[in-house]
C-alpha cells in the first residue's frame, strides 16, 4: 500500500513539481492543494499519512491547518517542506516516516 502524501503550497507551478516528484516514487501517492479549503477537503476525504507544508503559507493559515489536521487525524505527520529539489524532498519524507 502506498504512503499517501498531501502537499500544500501557494505557488501552483512549484506545487505541481512537488507532487510530480512525490509520485515518481513507487511507494508514494501524492496530491496537492493551493488553498486551505481544498487542503482540508482532500485531507478529510482521504487517508493521508504525511502533510507537506510548502512555501507561501501564511502563519495563521499554517496554524489553522495544523490544528484541523491534528483534530481529524492525530497520527498524521505534518512536515515543513523547505524546497531545494528532489533529494531534500525525499529526505524530508523518509525522515518523517522514520519517526
Q: What is residue 55's predicted lDDT score, i.e. its pLDDT?
A: 86
- Stated pTM of the model: 0.94
Lowest mean pLDDT among 15-19, 27-31, 86-90, 93-97: 86-90
Give the residue, 88 or 62, on which the prediction is more confident: 62
Q: Which helix (H) or strand (E) holds 78?
A: strand 77-80
Q: Kindly list the domain boundaries of the chain, sorted by start residue.
A: 3-98
Three-state secondary structure call for residue 76? coil
CATH superfamily, domain at 3-98 = Response regulator (3.40.50.2300)
The band of 18, judged by pLDDT with boundaries at 50, 70 and 90, is very high
pLDDT tens digits for range 72-96: 999 999 999 987 777 889 999 999 9
Q: What are phi and psi of 53, to 5 degrees?
A: -95, 105
Amino acid at each position: 500500500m502506498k504512503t499517501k502524501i498531501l502537499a500544500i503550497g501557494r505557488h501552483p507551478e512549484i506545487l505541481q513539481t512537488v507532487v510530480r516528484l512525490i509520485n515518481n516514487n513507487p511507494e508514494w501517492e501524492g496530491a496537492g492543494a493551493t488553498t486551505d479549503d481544498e487542503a482540508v477537503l482532500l485531507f478529510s476525504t482521504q487517508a493521508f499519512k504525511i502533510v507537506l507544508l510548502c512555501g507561501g503559507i501564511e502563519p495563521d493559515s499554517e496554524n489553522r491547518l495544523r490544528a484541523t489536521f491534528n483534530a481529524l487525524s492525530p497520527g498524521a505527520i505534518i512536515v515543513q517542506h523547505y524546497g531545494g529539489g528532489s533529494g531534500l524532498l525525499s529526505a524530508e519524507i523518509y525522515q518523517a516516516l522514520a519517526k
